[in-house]
Amino acid sequence: MSTLEQDLAQLNFEYLMLAREAVRSNALEAAWRFGLNQKQLAVMETLTVEKIRELAGNSRAIIRLLPLQTPQHMSPAVHSALLLPTHATSEEV
pLDDT at 67 over 90: no
DSSP 74: S
Has this prediction a pTM greater than 0.95?
no
How far apart are the C-alpha atoms of 59 and 9, rounded to whole Å? Answer: 7
DSSP 49: H
Query: Using CA atoms in the order 24, 32, 84, 88, what is the torsion angle rounded to 10 degrees?
Result: -40
pLDDT at 72: 79
pLDDT at 84: 74
DSSP 58: S
How far apart are the C-alpha atoms of 1 and 14, rounded to whole Å? Answer: 18
pLDDT at 64: 67
